[in-house]
Amino acid sequence: MGRHDGRPAAPRAPWYTRAGRAALRWLGRVALGALAGGMVLGATLWAGTSWETARVLGAGAAVLVVAATALAATLPPVPEPSTTRDDGPRTRPPGSRRDG
């Protein structure tokens, strides 16, 4: 039951392991942002915009992607599906089909 279950917590990893994991996480976010920024830069140049405008749009896309991935990392994980049967009321979202 969370932190009150009575079991001892797993020992913390050494600082260098935690720092390495954080660096790899941020490296992945920055790489994804650079890829997105490069794609926006290329697409806007191909579409005929000026170099300055394409560069600003590409940098904006890169910053937005890095910020979005950092924000997404703060969300809680998706809960596991329940293995027990719930005999509660059967509600379906509007417009869903009946399975017979």
Q: Which two tokens stand for residue 14?
A: 């050494």
pLDDT tens per residue, range 48-65: 999 999 999 999 999 999
CA dist., res. 70 & res. 48, Å (int): 32
pTM as predicted: 0.67
pLDDT tens per residue, range 7-59: 777 888 899 999 999 999 999 999 999 999 999 999 999 999 999 999 999 99
Q: Which two tokens stand for residue 83?
A: 């293995």
DSSP structure class, residue 74: T
Q: What angle do CA 63, 67, 68 make, to 5 degrees?
A: 115
